[in-house]
Structure 1
């Protein structure tokens, strides 16, 4: 048993170090940053803290319990900023900073949180805590690191699962979703995050998996079976996904 535990810890160590380095790099690029954090959820699991730097170690868990930019970004799927974390009326239980009567938190002012996704049901939030109102700069930095964080979590999920078939399925899923996002971006002239949100909302509305809807959309546009990465487990969408893709594209192209 001890050997198994050690092996698991060894597998997780490079990931933990990578995430820590990622957050420290973000903190170094955000002016006035006092801390940064990465929180994740998967399926029906609640949002949880995966890695922190600086004051985020205590501030972000409190936001998950009492409300704050991180919890709101996860709930809405939209970026959240605040000029004064402890005085914002959107999360009254956090207001006043009474739970943080510590000199380390006297400097805390603004905060920013950016949500993202790494598969059908995997969500994350990148966040930063500042000693000043954020302005547009911190949001731009977090958005720049959003894709890197997404791919890091894909790799982490694959590595910790230890299942080659799951790895192949993830690769096929990512390829299909990226193709579908590209099609949506072209027709709607929108950025990647908006295309992803559109795809995800449609999957929920039509009650089909994102990956199946993505492949069905690519097949609808191509008029045939969608090509998928060699060696991966093929994703074959059912009739509900094909109907959803047809309706979604009809809505996009309706005049």
Structure 2
């Protein structure tokens, strides 16, 4: 039987408005702020919302929070290595906490949350294929602020938020790539020399040598010109 979602239309409207950002110069940071504000708006009883992002090395940070209270509640999870938003990310499943004072899964974090005046929460993973980018979560002050209908709603919200976030990230990456290419055209001579060095040193063709330079530029978070200049300088004999 289908779950009735009284706010489904409102949720669709929120993301219809949010999608307009894809036509503007908004950044990933701004997109996260919008996602957080929309989550708090979409869920009745939410006292705060936030987005946790976790990279491939397991580094966690609250990328956006609607209040300092949310930030602190998240930070306690990171410090203790336990809590609902971390479980949502690790398991790829939503996590409902009806009452932190009666939830035995994370006793230390539950105490910290109760001290902040938070008694309930829902966390949903931001899933991109088989990977989880992090989680979106809402907190409530009273116990039993949320139920399984809320869980389903936040799941749908998280799915749309992930698509939105990936699109903005892709656009921002494309913009950065374009800036790199413009820089490359302005300094094509030094880049051509660097390509020649790699081709001679490793027996590469021109396209592969260029790809290696681009990959090193991304890895080192430096411009293509700077990476090429360093390579050329390192091959020049000392005077």
- The runs of 5 or more residues in structure 2 that have no matched partner are 1-23, 179-239
Describe the shift of the 1:30–1:121 C-alpha distance in structure 2 as closer, same or farther (beyond 3 A): closer
- The runs of 5 or more residues in structure 1 that have no matched partner are 1-10, 165-255
Match of 1:58 among 58, 63, 72: 72
Are 1:79 and 2:79 matched, yes or no?
A: no
Give the deviation of 1:59 after TM superposition: 0.7
Give the deviation of 1:48 after TM superposition: 2.3
> Does the CA-based 8 Å contact 2:127-2:159 persist in structure 1?
no
Q: How far apart are the structure 1 equivalents of 2:129 and 2:78?
A: 22
Are 1:90 and 2:100 matched, yes or no?
A: no
Q: How far apart are the structure 2 equivalents of 1:109 and 1:70?
A: 15
Match of 1:47 among 40, 53, 60: 60
> Does the CA-based 8 Å contact 2:28-2:165 persist in structure 1?
no
> Does the CA-based 8 Å contact 1:74-1:124 persist in structure 2?
yes
> Does the CA-based 8 Å contact 2:125-2:132 persist in structure 1?
no
Q: How does the TM-score come out when normalised to structure 1? A: 0.51
Q: How far apart are the structure 1 equivalents of 2:25 and 2:135?
A: 20
Q: Counterpart in 1 of 2:199?
A: none
Give the deviation of 1:100 after TM superposition: 7.0
Give the deviation of 1:119 after TM superposition: 5.4
Question: CA offsets, 1:71-98, max 9 Å, x none?
Answer: 111122211111123542111221323x
> Does the CA-based 8 Å contact 1:42-1:122 persist in structure 2?
no
Q: How far apart are the structure 2 equivalents of 1:37 and 1:81?
A: 15
**How many residues are matched?**
149
Q: How far apart are the structure 2 equivalents of 1:30 and 1:94?
A: 23
Q: How far apart are the structure 2 equivalents of 1:71 and 1:52?
A: 16
Q: How far apart are the structure 1 equivalents of 2:156 and 2:63?
A: 19
Q: How does the TM-score come out when normalised to structure 2? A: 0.54
